[in-house]
Structure 1
């Protein structure tokens, strides 16, 4: 009787860890959650009616930690994949996106380097566009649509609904609108413009011809 070599190796893995990839992912998520909880330890959480600056990151960290715990447990219960060779492209672009967001959303200064506060209006799309290239399948137009739509949603959620102290745009940006407009009115108009731009791009690109891909036939010729 013959058996498939891949299946035999998959089921004959020794030791208590049955899924090394799940184990590493779980430990990573738990570590990130613990770091977030530690960094927000001195911030006020507030209530659901008056949210403090620690409310959202703290509960997000708890959710990430619970997800990591589930992965950690599954690593000892369910057979999964082995660790593969790592690529630095993904972590490099994600870290670069985080740094770009942190140094542009508010005024930043480090020695002779300084950046103006661009607010969520510019820092959000910049971070999304950079992080999107963590995948080698990134397409700039699709990333642009995502950046416009997601930034509009975040501006409405954090700035209008939750009233979190996140700068939505540069200080001089409201000067482009009528002088009697409040900051909330400017924020809503800006979010609407971004959302409309995303919808227009979706409509314009919906009927684009797909990229032709040559597939080998049964004879092996391309």
Structure 2
């Protein structure tokens, strides 16, 4: 039977006893460091005049602190590493790359993609990343994309006035010429929210019809 001295030995106390937390924490720290490095050339500005890097920097710092907390918790008993598939990694990386090459104009040799802005790149990234799990449902992802993207558009483009491309320039021609960019932004956000609500309620009605048909068929 181990003695109390053996149970509290330094080697035992500082050994990794929750590998899942440790791996997750190291991954978050690496991700935060990468984000800070990629945004090192962007101006941060001040609280009164925020630059394009201020909010992403603070988000990266928060992710890094969460990673440190996970690493610290890995010295207590916890979950072991489980088997994982490449599906999640593939779709998450695909969503990140897709967002990067569509939000601003992108050219690589003969391949040229016009800047589509956050209004297109945001929903695209949300829908693609959602398929990282096999439980993903396209209708639910569309509702999430059309509901979350307008919030980001209004936060970054309207409230914070960050120089983030919001929508394709060709879209401005669909609105009155005397509308400001913020007016077009708000109208686009409102249309996306209406679209999310329409998909939600139409899907509910379709599901209710299926249930009624199933019930009637069972009675028959």
TM-score range, shorter chain: 0.7 to 0.9
Partner Cα distance (1:188, 1:14) in 2: 55
Partner Cα distance (1:74, 1:159) in 2: 38
Partner Cα distance (1:48, 1:54) in 2: 12
Task: Give the 4+ runs in structure 1 shifted more than 4 A.
Answer: 209-212
Partner Cα distance (1:211, 1:46) in 2: 54
Aligned ranges 1:65-80 → 2 under 5 Å? 65-77=64-76, 79-80=77-78
Q: Tell me the equivalent position of 1:188.
A: 186
Q: Tell me the equivalent position of 1:8.
A: none
Structure with greater proportional helix content: 2
Q: Tell me the equivalent position of 1:30.
A: 29
SS in 1 for 2:201: helix
Residues 38-81 of structure 1, C-alpha deviations (whole Å, 9 max, x = no match): 2222322111221011101110011001100100000002x111
Partner Cα distance (2:21, 2:71) in 1: 6
Aligned ranges 1:27-106 → 2 under 5 Å? 27-77=26-76, 79-106=77-104
Residues 17-39 of structure 1, C-alpha deviations (whole Å, 9 max, x = no match): 11000000011111111122222
Q: Normalising to structure 2: TM-score of the pair?
A: 0.85
SS in 1 for 2:67: helix
Offset, 1:211:
9.3
Superposed CA RMSD = 2.0
Number of equivalent positions: 199
167, 170, 188: which one aligns with 2:168: 170
1:108 matches 2:106: yes
5+ residue gaps, structure 2: 1-11, 212-220
SS in 1 for 2:176: coil
122, 133, 136: which one aligns with 1:135: 133
Partner Cα distance (2:151, 2:189) in 1: 7
Partner Cα distance (1:205, 1:86) in 2: 32
- Is this contact kept in 1: 2:14–2:75, CA < 8 A? no
Q: Tell me the equivalent position of 1:124.
A: 122
For residues 50 and 85 of structure 1, do their structure 2 counterparts lie closer, same or farther at Cα, with a shift above 3 Å needed?
Answer: same
For residues 205 and 75 of structure 1, do their structure 2 counterparts lie closer, same or farther at Cα, with a shift above 3 Å needed?
Answer: same
Offset, 1:121:
1.1
Residues 165-217 of structure 1, C-alpha deviations (whole Å, 9 max, x = no match): 111111111100111111111110000110111122222333525999xxxxx
